[in-house]
């Protein structure tokens, strides 16, 4: 059971649906929500003592204050700001399965590479791609350790969404019995109150949600609903789709602000096709890059509803880096070479 503040009613609702926690239809599903099976890894995840993020302002230690959810002023030098773009899951434990039987990891890797290229060509030359290998559970602690070892200033984890098994329907695709759910779609953005820099994480999350919305995209609203049971989340920004996901390892433990983007649903048959398209990948990349520029140049996220979608609203009024550095080769960081210190998890040899 997750250490989340579910209501008694919700506990009762989910009491008879414990099987949801393992999402048995697709084995990879279980680790789409990694903390479900990784409480031990959460406790054991290494916490390097040094390497403070380069945030302009730090939140107070007390994470219970309601004011923690207000955006903070944040500025950075984009030429030195190191963004870690984390590819969700691994080739061995590849996350959710799409309606057409393509593992989530493939979607994550393709989109993350595109985002890295977009950030580098957009004036963030220090951006790094983080690819982790190995089984799901031990990979989570190593993933965080690798991000810390890279001395990242910000972690953005890229995922694609699915649904709990109870929403799955059967169909046949390419001659194979398959599963889909067209009921839900959309992106969503997650932050953890347990991150050491929750305020800064939330500031970027809101900017990212606003830019996704500006691309004409809708966020996934189901996570705010009681029928999601185990998977219900606190909606922190109902305008642009930012949720709290407090016990997620990749958001809790990095020594830097961290945000997880579910770029869209790959169990929805229509949205899966869109997620595979260059056009949609470019929309997401543009949203991330625009949000990061606003973030770095100190823009405050606005929470008022935007009735008119705008494309790259920052383009005309944001200062641009003096030079557009040429895109570099993407840096892949297998975790075997980046374990910064001993932990209770034995790294693979
Ligand atoms: Zn995932």
Task: Please give the pLDDT value at position 73.
Answer: 73
What domains are there in the chain, each with its CATH number?
A: 8-47+81-301 (3.40.630.40)
Q: For residue range 14-40, what is the model confidence (pLDDT) as tens digits?
A: 332 222 222 222 323 323 443 233 333
Q: How far is the CA of 295 from the centre of ligand 1 (A)?
A: 25
Q: How far is the CA of 255 from the centre of ligand 1 (A)?
A: 21
Q: For residue range 37-65, what is the model confidence (pLDDT) as tens digits?
A: 333 333 333 333 333 333 333 333 334 44
CB neighbours (10 Å) of residue 338?
A: 18
Exposure of 45 in the CB half-sphere (CA atoms within 13 A): 26
Q: To the nearest whole number, what is the mean pLDDT of the chain?
A: 75
Q: How far is the CA of 261 from the centre of ligand 1 (A)?
A: 9
Task: Give the distance, in angstroms, between the CA of residue 288 and the centroid of all CA atoms in the same chain.
Answer: 11
Confidence class for position 288, pLDDT limits 50, 70, 90: very high
pLDDT (average), residues 178-193: 98
Q: What is the spatial distance between Cα 94 and Cα 135, in angstroms, rounded to a whole number? A: 9
Asked if 211 contacts 293 with a C-beta cutoff of 8 angstroms, the reply is no
Two tokens at 46? 């290494």
Asked if 44 contacts 343 with a C-beta cutoff of 8 angstroms, the reply is yes
Residue 147: pLDDT above 90?
yes
List CB-based neighbours of ion ligand 1 within 5 Å: 32, 88, 95, 159
Task: Please give the pLDDT value at position 68.
Answer: 47
Q: How far is the CA of 62 from the centre of ligand 1 (A)?
A: 30
Two tokens at 289? 């890059």
Confidence class for position 239, pLDDT limits 50, 70, 90: very high
Task: Please give the pLDDT value at position 137.
Answer: 86
SS3 call for 172: strand
% of the chain with per-residue pLDDT over 90: 62
Q: What is the pTM of this model?
A: 0.71
pLDDT (average), residues 149-178: 97
Q: How far is the CA of 276 from the centre of ligand 1 (A)?
A: 16
Q: How far is the CA of 60 from the centre of ligand 1 (A)?
A: 30
Report the run of H or E that residue 156 belongs to, with start and end. strand 154-161
Selected residue with higher pLDDT from 338 and 208: 208
Q: How far is the CA of 122 from the centre of ligand 1 (A)?
A: 26
């Amino acid at each position: 059971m997750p250490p989340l503040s579910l209501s008694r009613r919700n506990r009762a609702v989910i009491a008879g649906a414990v099987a949801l926690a393992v999402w048995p239809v697709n084995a990879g599903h279980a680790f789409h929500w990694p903390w479900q099976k990784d409480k031990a890894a959460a406790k054991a995840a290494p916490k390097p003592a040094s390497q403070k993020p380069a945030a302009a302002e730090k939140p107070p230690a007390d994470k219970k204050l309601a004011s923690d959810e207000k955006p903070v002023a944040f500025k950075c030098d984009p030429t030195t700001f190191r963004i870690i773009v984390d590819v969700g899951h691994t080739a061995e434990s590849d996350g959710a399965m799409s309606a057409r039987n393509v593992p989530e990891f493939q979607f994550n890797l393709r989109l993350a590479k595109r985002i890295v290229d977009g950030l580098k060509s957009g004036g963030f030359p220090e951006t790094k791609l983080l690819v982790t290998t190995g089984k799901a559970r031990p990979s989570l602690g190593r993933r965080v350790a690798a991000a810390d070892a890279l001395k990242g200033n910000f972690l953005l984890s890229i995922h694609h969404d699915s649904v709990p098994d109870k929403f799955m329907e059967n169909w046949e695709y390419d001659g194979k019995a398959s599963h889909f759910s067209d009921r839900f779609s959309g992106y969503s953005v997650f932050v953890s109150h347990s991150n050491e820099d929750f305020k800064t994480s939330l500031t970027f999350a809101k900017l990212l949600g606003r830019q996704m919305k500006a691309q004409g995209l809708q966020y996934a609203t189901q996570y705010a609903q009681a029928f999601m049971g185990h998977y219900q989340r606190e909606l922190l920004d109902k305008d642009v789709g930012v949720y709290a996901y407090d016990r997620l390892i990749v958001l809790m433990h990095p020594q830097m602000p961290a945000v997880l983007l579910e770029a869209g649903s790959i169990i929805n048959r229509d949205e899966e096709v869109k997620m595979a398209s260059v056009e949609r990948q470019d929309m997401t990349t543009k949203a991330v890059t625009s949000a990061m520029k606003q973030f770095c140049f100190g823009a405050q996220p606005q929470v008022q509803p935007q009735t008119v979608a705008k494309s790259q609203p920052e383009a005309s009024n944001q200062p641009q880096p003096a030079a557009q550095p040429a895109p570099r080769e993407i840096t892949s960081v297998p975790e075997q070479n980046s374990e910064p210190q001993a932990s209770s998890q034995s790294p693979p040899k």
